[in-house]
Amino acid sequence: MRRVIQVLGGVVLLVGGFSLGAGQAMAIEEPGYTVIEQVDNFELRMYEPKIVAETLVEGDFSEVGNEGFRRLAGYIFGDNRKQQDIDMTAPVSQQSDSEKIAMTAPVSQETLDGKWRITFTMPAEYTMETLPMPLDDRVILKQEPAQLMAAIRYSGTWSRERYQEKEASLRAFMDAQGLRAVGEPVFARYNAPFTLWFLRRNEVLIPVERLQGS
């Protein structure tokens, strides 16, 4: 199930740096998943395999998202190398060019080896073979397998305190459902930074597996 949300005119995409003109609209693709269970604002989801562009950023929880976004946005808005075979005769020629890649949601943030891992999911139409290579060596493309994730959805600010509060609630839900974490929690943001705090869609997601007998 591939989910699409509509972003209306005047929106800055997610964590800043790129805006749409007044009156324009843009469909934002989200990672595909199936809801296995739902209890209030908690969900157990099976995510489809996907390709992500990732970058690792050092810094404070509330600041690394902006830096990570700038790097990843640079990649999808043309800071990449598209390699194309021109001719099957001898000699084989190659041409380098840039390609713009459609924006997706959310911007995801998690810890990895003492740094923050910021990711965009690539549109489903691409494969590892058809995606252009990033020119910024801090941006890496990775294939991720299908994954079972526990999720909590909430509105409000992007503060670390609120994130930690929701993470604690999600872990309590996991305990009640017989789910064990098998990876680091992910902070997912779906809206522009100037979106009113009570209209923001935020999520905490944790990769999980079921405990035996659950």
Interval 46-62: pLDDT, tens: 999 999 999 999 999 98
CB of 202 closer than 8 Å to CB of 151: no
pLDDT bracket for residue 26 (50, 70, 90): low
In whole angstroms, how far apart are CA 71 and each of 52, 81, 101, 189? Answer: 13, 15, 14, 17
Q: What is 153-171 written as a DSSP string?
A: EE-S---HHHHHHHHHHHH
pLDDT at 27: 64
Span 139-167, mean pLDDT? 96
pLDDT of 95 strictly over 70? no
What are the pLDDT digits (tens) for 112-150? 988 999 999 999 999 999 999 999 999 999 999 999 999
CB 16 within 8 A of CB 193: yes
Residue spans of beta strands (DSSP E) within the chain: 4-7, 26-29, 33-39, 42-47, 50-57, 80-85, 94-97, 107-112, 115-121, 133-134, 140-144, 147-154, 179-181, 186-189, 202-210
Q: How far apart are CA 116 and CA 60, in angstroms?
A: 9
pLDDT at residue 113 in the model: 87
Q: According to the model, what pLDDT value does residue 22 have?
A: 33
Given a cut of 50, is residue 87 above it in pLDDT? no
pLDDT at 191: 85
In single-letter form, the type of residue at position 8 comes to L
Token code pair at residue 173: 């839900």
- Tell me if 166 sits within 8 A of 154, measured CB to CB: yes
pTM for the whole structure: 0.80
Residue 207 and residue 183 in contact, taking contact as beta carbons nearer than 8 Å: yes
Listed by start position, the domains of the chain span: 4-210
Percent of the chain with pLDDT over 90: 65
Distance in angstroms (rounded) separating the CA atoms of residues 138 and 57: 9
pLDDT band at 214 (very low <50, low <70, confident <90, very high): low
Domain 4-210, architecture per CATH: Alpha-Beta Barrel (3.20)
Better pLDDT: 9 or 16: 16
